[in-house]
Amino acid sequence: MANLKIVRDRIKSVSNTQQITKAMKMVSAAKLRRAQTAIQQMRPYANKLNEMLRNILSNLGDGANTSFGIERPVKKACVVVVTSNRGLCGAFNSNVIKSAVSTISSKYAEVRKEGNLTILPIGKKGFEFFKKKYADCNVIGDHVEMFSDLSFENIAVVSQYLMDAFANGDYDSVSVSYGRFKNAAMQFAEAEQWLPVQKLEIEGESSGMVADYTFEPDMQTLLEQLVPNILQTTFQKYLLDTHASEHGARMTAMDKATENAQDLLKDLKLSYNKARQEAITAEILEIVGGAAALESA
């Protein structure tokens, strides 16, 4: 009987867990719809603006008087790591962190060695990892809770800080590691250089052909207004992408957990039925044995 009680308790525990994972899946699915709509509306706009910015800076060459496109030797750098605040979303956070670690190892190893690497985590999971594992770096924890408000105004506070720091020479390079959303089942951890703006390869450059732009009111005024806005829009895209990726990964993980719980329940119920049948058979044998003993007495 003790074995039957253990199995019953186990079945009850798994059933309760299954109810939780099913509820979490439904919540993530509802949040995913809103997050997916936001990034799908933002991405084409942000990508086109970013392409336009890179194209303008590439064609203007030395005539582009903006600090955000100037490349200089990387002596001080910042890596922005965009993760979620909560877990239970599979390997999503781990993959983003691995992407950031790979960027640091391959691109900023010397900068870190000199003690000039800054890490700016957005999301608790990234902050907890880098605060513990990268004690030799300057880990900024001021913007961990940014996912509570993903409005353009709130995100612009961080992007403006990074742009000001780059323009003032506090950072020579700024990279962002984030999760790019494709669909509910597929998210990709990526790392991109945000500053300085990478220039496009210009077709016809070898023949000396350069695109001719007409600026109104003038080139300098346009660059001063256009470049910061495009960079802030691109930075917002990183966060919206990660936000949608988090909910997609969590929905998928909870769906798999619910299926695994169902499979486990089948096995436990089968074990319970077998144990109960064995107990019943043992009792019948005892009764038959007792009756036989009385008849022979």
Catalytic pick from 89, 101, 174, 176? 89
Give per-residue pLDDT as tens, 253-286: 999 999 999 999 999 999 888 888 888 888 888 8
What's the maximum distance between 2 C-alpha atoms anywhere in the chain? 118
Return the bridge partners of 191, or none: 177
Domain ranges of the chain: 19-204+211-254
Count of positions (residues) in the chain: 297
pLDDT at 200: 64
* Residues 6+ positions from 35 with CB-CB distance below 8 Å: 181, 240, 243, 244, 246, 247
pLDDT at 26: 94
Cis peptide before 73 (omega within 30 of 0): no
Dihedral angle sign, alpha carbons of residues 71, 75, 80, 81: positive
Predicted structure pTM score: 0.85
Which residue, 272, 233, 253, is CA-closest to 43? 233
* Residues 6+ positions from 109 with CB-CB distance below 8 Å: none
What distance in Å separates the CA atoms of residue 98 and residue 95, rounded to the nearest whole number? Answer: 5
What does DSSP assign to residue 178?
A: E
Return the bridge partners of 188, or none: 180
SS3 182: strand
Residue pair 193/175 in contact by the 8 Å Cβ criterion: yes
pLDDT at 207: 41
Phi, psi angles (nearest 5°) of residue 169: 85, 10
Cis peptide before 217 (omega within 30 of 0): yes
pLDDT at 71: 87
What distance in Å separates the CA atoms of residue 173 and residue 78, rounded to the nearest whole number? Answer: 6
* Whether domain 19-204+211-254 has CATH 3.30.1330.10: no
197: left (phi > 0), else alpha (psi -120 to 50), else beta?
beta
What does DSSP assign to residue 72?
A: -
Return the bridge partners of 119, or none: 79, 139
Q: Which residues of the chain have pLDDT under 70?
A: 1-2, 59-65, 200-213, 297
What distance in Å separates the CA atoms of residue 189 and residue 95, rounded to the nearest whole number? Answer: 6
- 89 in catalytic set: yes
Residue burial 76-100, b: 16+ Cβ < 10 Å; e: rest: bbbbbbbbbbeeebbebbebbbebb
Q: What is the DSSP pairing of strand 173-183 with strand 186-195? A: antiparallel
